[in-house]
Structure formats: structure tokens, C-alpha cells
Chains A and B, each alone.
Chain A
Amino acid sequence: MNIRAFLVLTCLWSACAQSELSIQITQGVDNPIPIAIVPFAWEGSGVLSEDVDQIVMDDLQQVGEFQALSPGNMLSLPNEEREIFFRDWRVLAQDYLLVGKISRAPGSQLVQVQYEFFDINRELKLAGEILTGSVTQLRDIGHEISNVVFELVTGTRGAFTTQILYVVSEQSADGQTVFRLEKADYDGQRAQVLLESNEPIMSPSWSPNGEDIAYVSFETSLPRIYTQNLATGQRRQITNYPNINSSPVWSPDGTRLAMVLSKDGSPDIYVQDLLNNELIRVTDHPAIDTEPAWSKDGRSIVFMSDRTGQPQIYQMEVGASSFNVERLTYDCFQCMKGQFLPDGVNMVHVRRETRQSPNYQIAVLNIETLRVITLTNTSLDESPSVAPNGSMIIYATKFGGRGVLDAVSIDGRVKFRLPSSTGDVREPAWSPFFN
């Protein structure tokens, strides 16, 4: 009897060794917005563990729309409004200015970060506040400031305080493969191991409020769906159907999981209610139906089916007759893993154009105009996941023979890469907003 030993740990406080993702910008826009971020003053003693202004600078440049002025080129270093000479910044052709200072909150271990944000050309203060937190929250405070700046300049809500899930596989010294499910900030920082196993882990998925996750684990030697609460680490096995149990995806209202089960002869889409465990069958076809994604109103599911011979993307209403299926893709040899962007009109997907060249790329289809934009020029792309503000897509690909995560802006102009220090990274899932 073939027994595969498995090791499953839930590591809440980084007790397990995690991968390190480091961000690399691989492509930026031609005319980035010039912004000056003056190093924040620190009015306390000792050295702060995080460089808040550097975090803001990195955030804004990583999404590629901004170009930050090097502090070495600054003519003055104001920390608050009354220290600012706008001419100093117009001369350097800057559009925006961020200044700030950090001090200890009186009588406590907390720190106070005061920031002020200005439109240089109009000599206008656009935002300013004091954010208070512990020293370990400095990184979060930096990202909050980035969110404010980003939204004021672009009109789009910033996603700098969001997180990603991903799976890492690594060969240990004895040739065994170890799989880890990890969570990190959107930029790969502060990675934590959520699950470690000698058996594969697949398909991580966030609940809409970001408090729970779902995934597939082979720890029982068969693929089964689990949910896990992030705060408590508590796990719950959701399914134990025969054959494939895969692709868990939370409904927008957080009460149901779409999933793929092949218990009735071939992989089909099902929806399981998480409260009463009621199972609804959505597709009923002998072909492979898989990769469900929900519409924003939670009434329809987009999925991939190879019922015409090759994978294409379809949509149908949950609970409707299984004949009532609408085909969404026609021009590709294979189209897979479709998900709607928050606008409900554009659908990101994985696309293989021809039978002859097995290149898989990330593309966006506008289902109203039928126009397709291909966002990537790598050829082994998979698992796209959209940022909750709809501005960027993270996906898995191969670089230098190793699995890495890449991110691309929705118009394809900006790219960054998150290679791991160890092992292969895959299956990213971008979190929702955490309020």
C-alpha cells in the first residue's frame, strides 16, 4: 500500500519558513505623474523600523503611474505646510507634493504620523490628517497614505492595503516537494505561511469580507475543499464528494461557494450553501465544465467548458435550466479562466490564440464591443486575479524556469514582477478591500 506521509501545519505567526517575494518593476508608463515625497521627519529617539515615505514612494511607482523625485534633487525639505515654498517645486516640474512628520503619541507606545498632500500648480492642500498606530503598523499607515494620494490623483480607489494569497512549491533536500499556502501584502511583503503540506494545495480564494479563505488540499490524498478563518486559523472541510472537488469561489454575498465536482461522471459546476450545506447543480454536461467565477450580482456564473471540443468561456444563471448557457468567447482556439472586472463588462481570461502555438497569455475581452486586448507577452501565463479596484491584474507565469507572479495594469502599460527567493510561486488571489 502506497502511503504518502503528509505534514500539515497552520502557521499563524510566521513560525514556518516562508518565501520572500521581492517586487521588480518591469515596465512603466511613458509620462508618469511627477510627485515629490519629502522624507518624513522623525521626532522621536531611536530608529524607526519602517520608512513611511519610502513605502509611499514604492507604492506609487510600482503601479507605474507616478515618478517620484529623488530626495537628493530637492531644494528644500519641508515637513509641514508652513515650511513649503511652492516655487521650489514648480521649478523642479513637480505636480504633487507630500510632506509629513512622525512623533510618539504622548504617554504611549504609539506613533503619530501626520501627512499633508498638495497640488503644486494650484498651491492647494488636497488632504492632511494624523494617523496613529503602533510601530508595527507603520507599514499599514504608509499604505493608507498611498491610498489617499492615489485616489485623489487618479480618481480610482487605491489598493495598497490589500493582500494576496498564493501557493509555493519547493523541493526539499531529500527530493520531496513541499507545498505552502501563503498570504502577503500586495507587494509581497510580510509573507505568512497559512498551510504547509507534502501534498498539493490549489485554488486559494478570498471570502468577500476578507476574513476567510477557501482552497483545495490533497492532504487526505484526494482533492477536497477547505475553508480557513484568517484570524483564528480554524479550518473546516467543506466537501468530501468522490473524485474531483476543486475550484472553490465565494459568492459576492459570502454565503455560498461555487465549485467543481466530477462526482456525477464529468466535472461540472455546483454551488454549495455554506450555512445549510445544500448543493445546487449548475451545469449538466458530459464535457469538462470548470473554473467558475461569479457575476457581481451573484446570480450568474462564468465558467469554462470544452463542450465544443476546446475550452471556451460561457455564462449561465444559477438555478436556470442547464440549456440556458450563453457562450462568451469565439475568436480564440482556447479561452479559459474568465472573470469579470468590477465594471461587469470587461472579462480577464487566459487565451491561446491558435492550435499551432501553445502560448497562453492574459487578455481582456469587452463583452459589449467584443474587443480583445492581450496584456502579456510571456507565454505560460495562468491564474489571473483582479485587484479589487479593477486597476491591476496579478497572474502566475514562468521566468528563468521558475514560477513567478507578475502584475499588469488593466491597460497593459505597467508591469511588475514578484519573484520568490525560493521555489515556484503560483495561483495568486488578490484580496478584496478590507474596508
Chain B
Amino acid sequence: MNVKSRNEWRARIIFVSFLAFTACSSTGDTDEGADATQNGSGSGATDTATSSSASGGGQLTQEEIRAQSALRQTVFYFEFDIAEFKPADRGTLAYHARDLAANPNKRIRLEGHADERGTREYNLALGERRANGILNYLIVNGAAHSQIEVVSYGEERPTQSGQIESAYSRNRRVEIVAR
């Protein structure tokens, strides 16, 4: 194949893969080894169908797609009374870190939150602890501290009202916000 048609072929694969993954917020991983990229909200289909038809250039394409999908996940949820992020989110966060590493001018803000139970000042501190946990993970995976601002809103900015667990669980979160 000459260069031109290989690029055309690559373009078609990107297009087809994109169609296959527009509905998914995350992808299951079948290619990579130790690096676990299972995501917490994992409702995505695997990419076996397109991987088998990809030639040598296809692996990079899928990686880009996985990266884009991971970068679209900007809210990370937490268990009650817990400040550590869910292990299932490590892969997605690693993509965020690499994206920051690759784009030194990019800036983000980590906004930490808690549900309403407990006192307001404790929740302010808990929100910060949650955001700091993600901050440290991003730094370890390549982001620069100067790219990331951390702020906690405690229980002051819930996304859902109501004294039920379904509301509480959606309020216990850290959000990645572009600056």
C-alpha cells in the first residue's frame, strides 16, 4: 500500500470506530495487559469487532478513542464516609493525567463535594480530601501540580436534593472542570 491509501484506510477505521463508540461512555479493554482500564460506569461495548479488523495503525486509533472517552468522564463518585476514589476510576484518571502531561498549557480545577450528612465544616474538609486524592494520582501519573487547582464546596453545591441515598450518592463527587 502506498502512504495515501494507508491513510485512507486509517481514516475509515477511525470513522467506523467512532460510530461504534459514540453511545458508550467507557470501553472495556481487551488488548492491554496490566494497565487496567475498566471504568466505574462501564456500560461500554468492547472493541473486539474493530480490533480484529485493524491493521498495525489501528491500535493507536483505539487508544485515542479510549482516551477521548476517558476524558469525557469528568465526575467521579465516592462511597459514604470515604475519601479515597474508587479503584475502578484509576484508568480514567490516568488518561486525564496523561492528557495534562501532553498539554502543559492545559489547566483544570478539581472541585470536591460531600453529601449533606454531618457538619458543614467537616464536609468542606472531606470534599478537599477527596479532591486531593485525585490530585495526587494525577501528579503521580504525569500532570504538573501547577496545572491543577483544588477547591472544595463541601455540601454547599449538591447536584440533587432529597434525603435519599440516590441523591446522596450523586452528591459525593469530585468534578474535573476545565479552566
Which A residues contact B (CB, under 8 angstroms)? 1-2, 169, 177, 200, 202-203, 218, 221-223, 243-244, 246-247, 260, 262, 267, 288, 290-291, 304, 306, 311, 334, 336-337, 350, 352, 358, 360, 380, 382-383, 398, 401, 426-427
Verify B151–A380 contact, CB threshold 8 A: no
- Knowing A2-B109, A2-B179, say if A246 contacts B124 (CB, 8 Å): yes
- Report the interface size class on chain B: 20 to 34
B120 touches A202 (CB 8 A): yes
Q: Which 3 A-B pairs have the closest CB atoms?
A: A200-B156, A288-B125, A267-B125
The residues of B with any CB-CB pair to A shorter than 8 Å are: 80, 109, 116-122, 124-126, 128-129, 150-154, 156-157, 161-163, 177-179
Q: A380-B116, A398-B163, A401-B162 are in contact. Are A243 and B122 (CB under 8 A)?
A: no
Q: Which residues of B contact A260 (CB under 8 A)?
A: 121, 125
Q: Total number of A-B contacts with CB less than 8 angstroms?
A: 84
Q: When chains A and B are docked, how far (Å) is the Cα of A383 from the Cα of B163?
A: 18
Once A267-B128, A358-B80 are accepted as A-B contacts, the answer to whether A177 and B122 lie under 8 Å apart by CB is no
Instruction: Tell me whether chain A's interface is mostly helix, strand or loop, or mixed.
Output: strand
Instruction: Give CA–CA (A278, B129) in the complex, Å.
Output: 27
Contact: A243 with B120, CB < 8 Å?
A: no
Please report whether the interface of chain B is mostly helix, strand, loop or mixed according to DSSP.
mixed
Q: Which residues of B contact A288 (CB under 8 A)?
A: 122, 125-126, 129
Q: Which residues of A are found within 8 Å of B153, using beta-carbon distances?
A: 200, 218
**B117 and A262: CB pair below 8 A?**
no
| A153, B124: Cα distance in complex, Å | 44
Instruction: Give the residues in chain B near A267, CB-CB below 8 Å.
Output: 125, 128
Instruction: List 23 contacting pairs A-B, 8 Å CB cutoff, sorted by A.
Output: A2-B109, A2-B178, A169-B156, A202-B120, A202-B154, A203-B121, A218-B156, A223-B124, A223-B151, A223-B152, A243-B128, A244-B128, A246-B121, A262-B128, A267-B125, A291-B119, A291-B121, A311-B118, A336-B118, A336-B122, A337-B121, A382-B120, A398-B163
